[in-house]
Structure 1
Amino acid sequence: PGPTTGAAPGSTPGAGTGTGTQAGTGAVTSASSTGNVALLPGSGAIERTAHTYTGTFLSFEGGDGSGKSTQLNLLADWLRGRGHEVVVTREPGGTPLGTKLRAIVLDAHNADVISPRAEALIYAADRADHVERVIRPALERGAVVITDRYVDSSLAYQGAGRALSAREVELLSHWATQGLMPDVTVLMDLDPIEAARRRKTPADRLELESVEFHRRVRNGYLELAAAEPERFIVIDAREPVEQIAGRIRARLEGRIHLSRQQRTEEAERREEERRKAAEQRAVQMAELSDAERRRAEAEAEQRDQAQREQEAREAARQEHRRRLEEDAARAERAARERAQNNADLATRLGQTERPSITSEPTATPPRATTPTHTTAPPVQPPASPVQPPASPNAEDIATPSTRGEWEVPDYVAEPELDEEPEQDAMALADELFGVRQQTRHGGEDA
């Protein structure tokens, strides 16, 4: 007999990822549902569905009289004490149909009635109903299912004991169970002769088989365990009952999913550890010397001071940037105003015309000082009844006389335009509007 699949060592059972190692040769696969691949005993490969349940599936295997039923019940009680829902079942006989099939297949009066292939089919029929009605529903709701015998029994008894094709037995069991295999299998190993001595009840149809038959069965089990050590836990059934129970519990530690009670206890344990750690830190801080506390306070103050200085530097940079932006805006406004004022002055100067001499008489404006840059002699105005003073100084015309008609005073000379437009414009403005202006050589602006 060859290997079957199971949970990898150290993996969390019931997490939907149970797989095992495969061995053997060939490439024969079934056309059933896809999943994890396991080799058929002694030959080709077979596809098995991946675990999709949240519980844990355990099986107990071994020859009759090896004590597997006793250990199964002890393990179930231990798991219930840890808060698990535990479903204990068996093959054949885990369902009403299985009970009737068990009565048929184990009846000692049917020793020569049931052929090996019919026997394999009876076990497969029982297993199909068992998985459908008991095992899979319990696993899907998160229970721990412990079955007394499963697929490995068919491989050992019908495959090795009856000498049927292990490949055919494997295919038949795979089809019946839809590829469902245990997460952990506990194999109670015991010599058939010692097992026969322990028997206290009348032998059933299989127990009546020869010693050689039971030795083939035992060897078949050991070959399965050797081919798949990550799933099998092999126990020497000759040890005391309590010692065996402790060994099984130790080997199952970490391979069975946590119950709700265990999850609650684990959360409380972690919370208690955090609380104790916080208390220990508080005690350590209280035990610090005054110098250490002062040093710690000084370091904290330095960190705070550095933070404040950093914030102050950042605020100063922001304020400097803001002021630069304001200065730039003011300079831009001043430049625009100067440009506008220059444009307005040029416009007024360009639109101003000399008034006619026939205008209404007005007060003669004060004479401005003749610009020194004018080189041509003053143009004499037309004759007038009133002669202007001989000297065209500003002091002599501070109080001009009133004239009946507008006449151009003789001290207003026609300016000789300089080569520079700015000087010509300023001279013209001085003559037209009487603006007092000193020469630029005097150092004073208009």
Structure 2
Amino acid sequence: MTTTTTEELSATTLLRFATAGSVDDGKSTLVGRLLHDSKSVLADQLEAVEQASRSRGQEAPDLALLTDGLRAEREQGITIDVAYRYFATPRRRFILADTPGHVQYTRNMVTGASTAELTVILVDARNGVVEQTRRHAAIAALLRVPHAVLAVNKMDLVGYEEKVFAAIAQEFTAYATELGVPEVTAIPISALVGDNVVEPSASMDWYGGPTVLEHLETVPVSHDLAHCHARLPVQYVIRPQTADHPDYRGYAGQIAAGTFRVGEQVTVLPSGRTTTVTGIDLLGEPVDVAWTPQSVTLLLADDIDISRGDLIVPSEDAPPTTQDVEATVCHVADAPLTVGHRVLLKHGTRTVKAIVKDIPSRLTLDDLSLHPHPGRLVANDIGRVKIRTAEPLPADSYADSRRTGSFILIDPNDGTTLTAGMVGESFASPEPVKDAAEDDGWDF
């Protein structure tokens, strides 16, 4: 088995990508084939798969069995959101978020794709683009995943016909373009046989594009968040009160985006108080500059009231604070989200009380039309919401920052996650109407 040295890994870039597809589109086989043919499967794992395949009467190894442990857990009733797999080639390191295919698990794609730079959407060549395909494309568009791969699978079952692939690719690309997906790469594959997954297919000489792995290895990826809006959500206030540091007070957290420097003037939100960074501790050592995604402790010149949930930002680049949040959301809970629903809104490290004031629209995936003022969203629905929070929130637009422009809504009674939201994101909006819940007696 080919191995990659530590030195080689340190010189390669990292690509986070997610896979999605309807049930029986061959997603497990694709993941297994990708791991097997890229030499990312340990010998004992492959031997176990071969033995299990022989016991089922199969001559060739069933590579889908490499992910069958996850499937078995689901059958046992264990809730699993997303399975992450890690592998590497000499050209790039990969973190794969393997999302479930069933319609009722569509909500989990939000988790898997939320940090992805690329999503692979599988389509069965015999079935073409189906509703679940459109739903996955809509979520990828909402989450602003920069790159999308349409993997038209099971081409061996349609005689490797170019016209079948071309029709599916044209339909999906047109739909994705309407959604605003910036880039779609369509690849005809047979995950079972291995065509165009890692090695080029000898059965589709009409296709001259990259294989799946070749595209994953070469697609441009930018991790340069150091030049984005600098944001540090405060996670913890550190006061060791030791003899060596009797007056130490630091504000710890992971930098969500951007760069912080000693001597920089910063503002603490939502209070709006300004101060200066006098020191930065990284792994217990002082540094002059720190950037995303480092976890650091900031030392500030002034003794001001800062607690978990506050956001430290450069004073010249502070986002607006608001109690009225408009966003596009994907509803993930079985219980519906309704107008007047009292919720908790978690934004970064801050959680505040909130109420759903209006649901202006729900997206219809078939034709991308908007159903105005549905009054509620049910599981897997995508829609627009207006939310009033009890306290001001410093919320970036999701278009500016995927980290500080996102939030979740939580049921205050049992802590269930209800909805994942993207601030300011919208396909379109109907005419504004009077808030359906503005006279409910709440005082915020």
Output the TM-score relative to the length of structure 2: 0.23
Structure with more contact order per residue of length (Cα contacts < 8 Å, sep ≥ 6): 1
More strand per residue: 1 or 2? 2
What is the TM-score with the length of structure 1 in the denominator? 0.23
Indicate the structure with greater helix content.
1
